[in-house]
Amino acid sequence: MARRKKLYEGKAKVLYEGPEQGTLVQYFKDDATAFNAEKRDVIEGKGVLNNRLSEFFMTGLGQIGVPTHFIKRLNMREQLIKAAEIVPLEVIVRNFAAGSMAKRLGIEEGTRLPRPIVEFSYKDDALGDPLVPEEYIMAFGWATQQELGEIVDTTLRVNDYLSGVMYGVGIKLIDFKIEFGRIYEGDFPRLILADEISPDSCRLWDIETGEKLDKDVFRRDLGNLTDAYTEVARRLGVLPSNVTHANTKPTLIN
């Protein structure tokens, strides 16, 4: 088979040309970066876990009627996705204070917020993905007002879904980040959920112990990142088929 053409290499993933018009292959690397890539390492197995976990969440969201870019998983590290025109925003939802918000407002990490808060940063590595007010988004044409409304509505649905799924396995969803893209049906743009949903882009704390099961383990040198992600996958019944564990629940993947 001919080598696929590489279209983009990011910090955590590589995008290749897909087999059909309008598709891409998303490859999950083992690279971990934090603090705008100032801290970096290779974490054996992370890509495999994120590929599976993103498949799991995107599939579940698809089943409750949230349109996503996910088509199918191809192998351990790759998934086939719909090619989208990415809205240059990181859409962040916070249920509990943590990270930059806790710091900015002087709120103790883990404090429940009065309600889920949606915020946006402008996707630009050179600028360090700065937080932007909604007005900038419309003024600079990154999204229309109508799109922004839809982005917020969908993001809150994603939050409810993810919070519930996590709660079911004893995990608190502190916050997460998602991205949206446009696909065109004729001239008509439609928004879909793109990129990935994985412990790289969520904060996940064990409900009982408060143990961190997300990328903060890497950011803050709290232990083995693969072990943390494996624990999330194990609880959700999502595990790479070559990993055998005693006592796992029935697996949800085929």
Ligand X SMILES: Nc1ncnc2c1ncn2[C@@H]1O[C@H](COP(=O)(O)OP(=O)(O)O)[C@@H](O)[C@H]1O
Task: Say whether residue 181 binds ligand X (CB under 6 A).
Answer: yes
Q: Are 157 and 64 in contact (CB under 8 A)?
A: yes
Residue the block writes with tokens 């197995």: 45
In the bound state with ligand X, the residue whose beta carbon lies nearer, of 11 and 157, is 11
Q: Binding string to ligand X for residues 195 to 224, with x set by CB under 6 A, is what?
A: x-----------------------------
In the bound state with ligand X, the residue whose beta carbon lies nearer, of 172 and 214, is 214
Q: Is 59 exposed, middle or buried (0-12, 13-18, 19+ CB in 10 A)?
A: middle
- Please name the residue ranges forming H helices in the chain: 46-63, 99-105, 134-139, 145-168, 216-219, 225-236
Contact pick of 162, 174, 194, 239 for ligand X (by CB under 6 A): 194
Task: State in angstroms the smallest separation of the CB of 57 from ligand X.
Answer: 14
In the bound state with ligand X, the residue whose beta carbon lies nearer, of 98 and 194, is 194
| Binding piece for ligand X, criterion CB under 6 A, among 3-11, 39-47, 216-224, 240-248 | 3-11
Cα–Cα distance measured from residue 248 to residue 228, given in angstroms and rounded to the nearest whole number: 16
Residue number, nearest CB to ligand X: 10
In the bound state with ligand X, the residue whose beta carbon lies nearer, of 10 and 210, is 10
Query: Hey, what amino acid is at 211?
Result: E
Could you tell me the CA-to-CA distances from 2 to 17, 19, 162 in Å, in that order? 12, 11, 38
Contact pick of 53, 58, 84, 204 for ligand X (by CB under 6 A): 84
Beta bridge partner(s), residue 27? 14, 78
In the bound state with ligand X, the residue whose beta carbon lies nearer, of 157 and 182, is 182
Contact pick of 5, 6, 10, 40 for ligand X (by CB under 6 A): 10
In the bound state with ligand X, the residue whose beta carbon lies nearer, of 61 and 97, is 61
Task: State in angstroms the smallest separation of the CB of 115 from ligand X.
Answer: 28
Could you tell me the CA-to-CA distances from 46 to 29, 50, 80, 240, 248 in Å, in that order? 7, 6, 19, 11, 20
Contact pick of 74, 80, 86, 138 for ligand X (by CB under 6 A): 86
> 3-state DSSP call for residue 77?
coil
Could you tell me the CA-to-CA distances from 166 to 5, 109, 232 in Å, in that order? 37, 19, 9
Task: Say whether residue 43 binds ligand X (CB under 6 A).
Answer: no
In the bound state with ligand X, the residue whose beta carbon lies nearer, of 4 and 82, is 82
Task: Say whether residue 12 binds ligand X (CB under 6 A).
Answer: yes
Q: Are 32 and 215 in contact (CB under 8 A)?
A: yes
The site for ligand X (CB under 6 A) is made up of: 8, 10-13, 15, 24, 69, 81-84, 86, 179, 181, 194-195
